[in-house]
């Protein structure tokens, strides 16, 4: 298990004293909580297997990855049915799924202060190969998971394959798409956000939503979530789904959140209700801690001072530089509450407003400038395509203010950097919009294509959807750079080689009934060194 280095320690000491549920614990007490301490329950016994929420891995490196689980014999009960004491957990990593050749084993502590979650940073493995992992606690074993280390930087890589998915309201349908993702042979999964939804239980049956009656399929638990126990219980409810567990166990994940992990349309220190920032920070701290507890994240992402570090990168040999972004935590508040507005709204052009924040933008721009791989991947949350969503009574185009169209100064800066350092080899994946989009990206929609974007539809949010609707017809007519869109559920499957990048827009016909088959709605290819996509 990775120990904290002196530089990280000194940096954390300098930052102590900020708000947050566990911010003041870092680094001394968090390391103590998950290491040796008094009162560790070495030999617990359980009436129910404590690994009800499954296992996961994430943030792979060339010599390892994070393996995760959370002890929860009764996931929806108080404290998930756990005694509130630190508990010893063992883990194994093997070169085969039968664990005949175990290469690493160890012990850690599931701390009650962290919801009895476990994050082990496995090190010392071989690059670019598969491994299997499992946990043991009190004589109870978890199911195993599969992960994979990164290739060495600069090494020759012929192909990688990954899925892009998110927006998984448990009320809106079954996780059929996650089951299909689990059956793909993937190098990684990128989850763009909206892993949970914070809303209160609506019950089973039709409820009003955007002027329509929606049929809720599965129930959440309780009221809108605010406390740490609320957030923990909501994650547990979602993670009980077997299809989601299968997808987590099938491949390493890179995760980043959007808005519903905390509160709809939040931005930086602002929530959608206009709560005072010093009040909202308490809810945000609870949500950040619960997110960390339930995701396969490294210690470097532990929340501190009311911030959680989620932007990071990973390199797949000479083939791909992947930049994982956070477009929610550092953004300026949305124009018009994130709804539709005219492109002429002055604030959208303001250099005082930002999508990424200064530090993240500087990090990304430097990464793009120094990247020498065949391809760059920007994995982020919201639409960067500058799409007209309709027109007002005067025939003027309306744009969504929750995406990059509401932050045109940031959008221009990003596309300028891609044009300088990544033209013809940069692809953006995103989500949030509950429908597939495939579009080429230009500065303010001029004629020069700079990059391309594949926005993955939702896993369930929006329910079954339809192949054709009025909104689809409208945006297709208004946006010639939009190559495809469809209002169905699913995910995007990307296959990357040195010569080409193929994106398959995967859809399931139904999510309101289980076990719908998967199909490809459209497929697009980009040739390395040439900007712009082609349908195949």
Q: What's the pLDDT tens digit per position in 236-276?
A: 999 999 999 999 999 999 999 999 999 999 999 999 999 99
Kindly indicate the confidence band of residue 15, based on its pLDDT and cuts at 50, 70 and 90. very low
* pLDDT: which is higher, 74 or 12: 74
CATH no., domain 6-535: 3.60.21.70
Tell the residue number behind the tokens 């990855």, with chain if given. 65
Q: Dump pLDDT digits (tens) for 37-90.
A: 889 999 999 999 999 999 999 999 999 999 999 999 999 999 999 999 999 999
pLDDT surpassing 70 at residue 31: no
Looking at residue 209, what is its pLDDT? 55
Q: Dump pLDDT digits (tens) for 336-359.
A: 888 888 877 889 999 999 999 999
Q: Dump pLDDT digits (tens) for 97-122.
A: 999 999 999 999 999 999 999 999 99
Looking at residue 215, what is its pLDDT? 64
Looking at residue 381, what is its pLDDT? 98
pLDDT surpassing 80 at residue 217: no
Are the C-beta atoms of residues 75 and 293 closer than 8 Å to each other?
A: no
CA-CA distance, 255 to 352, in Å (whole number)?
28
- In our burial notation (b when 16+ CB lie closer than 10 A, e otherwise), range 93-128 reads bbbeeeeeeeebeeebbbbbbbbbbbbbbbeebebb
Q: What is the DSSP letter of 406?
A: G
Share of the chain above pLDDT 90, in %: 85
Q: Which residues contact 485 (CB under 8 A, 6 or more apart)?
A: 435, 436, 437, 438, 472, 475, 476
CA-CA distance, 118 to 68, in Å (whole number)?
5
User: Would you mind telling me the total number of residues written for the chain in this entry?
Assistant: 536
Kindly indicate the confidence band of residue 25, based on its pLDDT and cuts at 50, 70 and 90. very low
Mean pLDDT of the chain: 92
Tell the residue number behind the tokens 């930087």, with chain if given. 153
| Burial (CB count within 10 angstroms: exposed 0-12, middle 13-18, buried 19+), residue 346 | exposed
Which residue, 376, 370, 371, 335, is CA-closest to 355? Answer: 335
List the chain domain ranges. 6-535
Q: Dump pLDDT digits (tens) for 511-530.
A: 999 999 999 999 999 999 99
Mean pLDDT for 367-389 is: 97
Q: What is the DSSP letter of 467?
A: S
Q: What are 525's two structure tokens? A: 């290819």
For residue 27, is the peptide bond before it cis, meaning its omega torsion is within 30 degrees of 0? yes
CA-CA distance, 274 to 223, in Å (whole number)?
20
| Burial (CB count within 10 angstroms: exposed 0-12, middle 13-18, buried 19+), residue 535 | exposed
Looking at residue 4, what is its pLDDT? 39
Kindly indicate the confidence band of residue 24, based on its pLDDT and cuts at 50, 70 and 90. very low
């Amino acid at each position: 298990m990775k120990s904290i280095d002196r530089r990280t320690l000194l940096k954390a000491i300098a930052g102590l004293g900020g708000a947050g549920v566990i911010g003041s614990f870092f680094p001394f007490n968090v390391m103590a909580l998950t290491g040796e301490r008094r009162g560790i329950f070495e030999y617990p016994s359980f009436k129910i297997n404590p690994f009800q929420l499954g296992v996961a891995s994430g943030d792979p490196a060339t010599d390892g990855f994070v393996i995760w689980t959370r002890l929860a014999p009764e996931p929806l009960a108080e404290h998930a049915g756990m005694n509130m004491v630190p508990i010893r957990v063992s883990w194994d990593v093997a070169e085969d799924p039968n664990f005949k050749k175990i290469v690493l084993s160890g012990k850690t502590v599931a701390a009650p202060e962290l919801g009895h979650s476990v994050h082990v940073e496995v090190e010392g493995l071989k690059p670019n190969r598969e491994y299997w992992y499992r946990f043991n606690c009190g004589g109870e074993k978890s199911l195993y998971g599969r992960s994979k280390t990164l290739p060495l930087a600069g090494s020759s890589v012929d192909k990688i394959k990954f899925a892009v998915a998110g927006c998984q309201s448990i009320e809106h349908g079954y996780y059929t798409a996650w089951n299909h993702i689990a059956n793909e042979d993937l190098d990684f999964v990128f989850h763009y956000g909206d892993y949970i939804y914070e809303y209160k239980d609506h019950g089973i049956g039709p409820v009003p939503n955007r002027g329509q009656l929606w049929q809720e399929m599965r129930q959440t638990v309780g009221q809108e979530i605010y406390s740490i126990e609320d957030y923990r219980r909501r994650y547990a409810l979602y993670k009980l789904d077997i299809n989601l567990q299968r997808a987590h166990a099938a491949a390493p994940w890179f995760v980043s959140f959007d808005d519903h992990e905390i509160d709809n349309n939040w931005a930086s220190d602002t929530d959608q209700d206009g709560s005072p920032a010093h009040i909202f920070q308490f809810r945000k701290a609870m949500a950040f801690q619960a997110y960390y507890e339930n995701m396969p994240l490294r210690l470097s992402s532990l929340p501190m001072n009311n911030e959680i570090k989620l932007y990071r990168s990973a390199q797949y040999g000479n083939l791909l530089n992947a930049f994982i972004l956070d477009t929610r935590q550092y953004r300026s508040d949305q124009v018009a509450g994130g709804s539709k507005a005219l492109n002429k709204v002055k604030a959208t052009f303001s250099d005082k407003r930002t999508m990424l924040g200064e530090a993240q933008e500087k990090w990304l721009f430097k990464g793009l400038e120094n990247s020498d791989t065949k391809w760059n991947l920007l994995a982020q949350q919201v639409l960067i395509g500058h799409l007209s969503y309709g027109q007002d009574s005067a025939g003027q185009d309306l744009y969504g203010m929750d995406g990059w169209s509401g932050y045109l100064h940031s959008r221009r800066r990003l596309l300028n950097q891609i044009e300088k350092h990544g033209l013809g080899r940069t692809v953006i994946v995103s989500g949030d919009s509950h429908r597939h989009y495939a579009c080429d990206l230009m500065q303010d929609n001029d004629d020069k294509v700079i990059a391309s974007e594949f926005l993955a539809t939702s896993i369930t949010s929006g329910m079954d959807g339809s192949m054709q609707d009025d909104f689809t017809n409208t945006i297709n007519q208004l946006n010639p750079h939009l190559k495809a869109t469809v209002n169905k559920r699913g995910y995007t499957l990307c296959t990357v080689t040195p010569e080409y990048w193929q994106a398959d827009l995967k859809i399931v016909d139904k999510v309101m009934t289980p076990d719908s088959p998967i199909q490809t709605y459209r497929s697009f290819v980009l040739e390395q060194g040439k900007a712009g996509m082609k349908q195949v």
